[in-house]
Structure formats: C-alpha cells, structure tokens
Structure 1
C-alpha cells in the first residue's frame, strides 16, 4: 500500500500537468470529452489520451463511458474535486499577491448563514479591521447546500453559522462557538402579538414564512407539521431573505422562525414580536467550518480568532 502510494505521488509530481487537470474538470462539467476538448482548444484524440494518461498515472478508472458521454467514477469525482481545489488555491494566491501589491494586508472569503449574519460575523469583522484595516474581506451569504461545497473546493475560506448536523463533515473541521435557539416571531400588529402561553392550535389559522427546503430547520419544521396532523399552512412563503421576511411580517399576519440572535435587535426595538409559543425544535450549535487539511491565510486565521472572541462576548 505505501509503495503504491509513493509510486503514484512520484508520478503525479513529475508528470502531472495543469492542462490535464483543466481537461479533467471540464470533462466532469460537460459530461463529454469532445465538448471539453473544444473548450480547451485541443483535439478529441489528444484529450482522450490525456484522460488515459491520468488513469494510468493514478492507477484508477476516472470515467464510465456511456452512449450519452462519460460519467465520473468515485475516483474521478475525487480527483475533479481536488483539481478544483488546486485551481481555487492558485486563484486565491494570485488574488492575495495582487491585494498585497495594491497595499492590502491579505484577503479572506467567508460564507455566512442566517444565524451568524446579524451579530457574530459583523462583530468579528470589526475586530479584524481594527487590527488589519487594509485586509480584504468578502462575505458570501447562502445556505449550507451552497456554501459547504464551495468551502470544500477552496472558493470560500470559512463558513460561519449553524453547523450541519449530518452532511458535509467529511474533510472539514467544525468548531462550535455557542448554542442557538429558534424563536417564533410576528409583526407587532399580528393577532398573536403579546399573547403568552400559546399552544400550536392558536397558530393554525395563520400563514407562515418557511425556511428553504434544503435547510435542517425546514426539515424539522416539516416533520413537526406532519406530527401535528399533517398540518398545511393556509399561506406558505419560502424565503431566506431577512429584509424581505422582516417587511412581510410587519405588513401581513404571518408567522416566521428565526435564530434568537438574528431577531434580537428587532424584538428589542419592537419592530418584530416574539410570540409566546416555545418552538419545540431547531436548537443547535452555531460555529465555524474550514477545510480540515487546508491552511488558512494570515487574514483567515485573524478572522477565525476574531470569531472566537466575538462569540465569547455574546
């Protein structure tokens, strides 16, 4: 086993070319060698030989040939993922050098989920900018289904928010910062506003703003609705936009679910109201994820430290 690994690594270091990896990624995207070859401006026979050379060097089959084209094998999927990571690291290196040339003190790209976007991440960014005023920080908002694959391929350095419970753990380091609860909220003019000790029966007549279907919170909410007699809200809107949800809650008789920290400022200012129904699901850890074997840049390490500091103050 060790001898085989050493042999493959030696061949990869001495023979692997970026053009081969570019072709590999392109074939994975197109599902077709001819289209990938056209994209890279090489002939189809040359492209086929490049793929075969990769298979010989790594001693695995990378693609299954079908009547419709080619489909990556598990080996092919793994090598494509690592190829994307290599190109992302090269792009990040070039960007960091350009930032340094322009007078910046590094760059970090951070993905944020709703649970971190209102207080934790802004507080951490403020701390970083205080010590590194010229650091370049890019924030990307989304769900775990979007951000975690981008983290694995190196397009994002860190993801901050609710830690996934069962997906995306492979190859990632997940650090818990604190536990978050979920609250049910409405606008201040909602019929349930100000009422305490509510049971679910009191919520049945009203519409809901639902989390996106790919989120853990949505899956938990759907399971709860099933448990409550296959309940279906009379109005069901699906949105991840906090500003949109906030406006709709203030103008319509809707119920929404939010992490407590996200809604805290609007509840304190009475722009929104936490109704007296205890959400029986959704509590979980908020934290930061990064690649297990990837080295963070100095700017990335600074943001990670600032996240720990910000969380300790919450």
Structure 2
C-alpha cells in the first residue's frame, strides 16, 4: 500500500553540497539565460527549484485613469454611433455605453451597475429602461443605442434569450465567448437558433488583443480610447478594464498564450469586449460605415466656438438617431 503521508520537498541548487554547483556557476548560467524566456524558465525550475511564473503582458490601469478628460457634452461631436456591452453576473448586470467614430476611435459614455435578483422580472424591467435611454451629442442630437450585445454564457441564458426577444432580436444580441486564438471578434449567425435569437460567438482572445493594443495608443485618432471624468469611471473601473494579463503557457512543451484575470474582477473588460462586438455586427451586417458618416458630418471650421455653443432648446432639437436607421439599411 502506498504511503500517503510522504512529503515532497524542493531545494535550490544554491544549497548543493561539496560545492559541485557553485554560486559562480549559477550566476553564469543566469546571465546566459536571462534574455531567453525558455532558458530562463529552465534555470528557474532546475537551479532555484521554483515554479516558473510567466510575466504577463498588461496595461497599467493608473495611466488610463489619469488621462480621463472633460467632455463638452455627454457624447462628444465625433461620435457617429453608440453601442453597449452587457455583462451578466449572478447578482447584477453591468453595461458600458461606448461611442464610435472614424477609425473606431472610441468614447466611453456611461457605465452602469444594476444589482438585483435576475430570476425575477424587476431588474430586467429596469435594465430595459436604462438601455432605451438617449444621450445628447454635442450638436444637440439625441442618440439611442444602435446595437446591444449581452452575455448569455452564465446561469441566466434563458432569461437573456427572452430579454432579446422582448426588446428586439435584431437590436439586443445574445453573445457567448469563444476563447480561441485568431477567431473573428463577431461570428454572427445566418439564422436564429432554436430559441429564436441570433446567438453570436465572440472571439474573446482576438477582441482583448485589439483592446489592449488600443489602450496603448497615446494620441487621439484611429483606435484611441477616451474616457470622461465621471464617477462611474472610477479607479475600480480601470482596474477591471485592465484586469487580464496575456500569459505565455506551455502544453506538451509547446508555448501558447492565454488571457488570465488571476481571480481579479474583470466585468468592465468583458463589457468593452461586447461593446466592440456590437459595433462589428453593425459594420459587417447592418452596413455601418463610420468613415463615411464622419465625412458626411464634417467638423465645423470654428470647432473651438462649437465647444462653447449651448445645446439647442428642446423645441429646436434635431431628430433622434435611432437603431432603425441601421436595421433597415
């Protein structure tokens, strides 16, 4: 019978007896391996007797938090369309509203957390009202959400499907993450599933790779991410938005990469992934052309004066931009 009380130990080679492996040898091997991750992994395992911890690729949340800016209106001038990404947890839903301009430059507009019992209708009614809310753009136009993507991979899949059918299967799209390298950000189905909704698979690895690349863009323009100075975009939001690290892992001796939150909360990142998925659905299946929209609505020559111009009165306010303009082509 095997002895189940046997203890295992690991011991650094730096404690080797009789000097058969000296500190000089260890230092020399380290210097030879320090610039090669594979050699350094082997050195850490064999010489130090420690488990190799791969350094993750991430973004400093404080740098993003510090570059928040004061918007001249709830939605800045350059936003052509609004989308939302909704994350579903056991006791709450969270969603981010993101505005998109030419080159997929993005402006975060709002972040909402709603707590409640998702098995009961009250929280769904409140969520529906929030998602139908309009946001005023700098030129006075009231903008609705053009597309919403909502996580359906948790414990409330049937509720999310029913919510999609209630609010509009073309407008609120249930999504499910598919962690697979190189998979398209949005794989929109040709037909509805047996529950009557357009369940869309999300290439989460691809989306996170793109989002993190855009976090690193330093100058406004294509791909740049803007956030407003607003209570909902607090430090906790940015910690969640950058919670995951791109980790090199090994399987059967072959290196591959995985995104790992290391048990940190990452709802804000998931919401950003789904908001990005929503704009891709608009582009690929609804005919949205951000560049053309930007050309059709050029920046005023006196943009500085535009910043100081008060919004039009309610009587003279321009018509709303609604989802129907995209869904009906």
Coarse TM-score class (shorter-chain normalised): under 0.3
After TM superposition, the score normalised by the length of structure 1 is 0.21
Greater helix share, structure number: 1
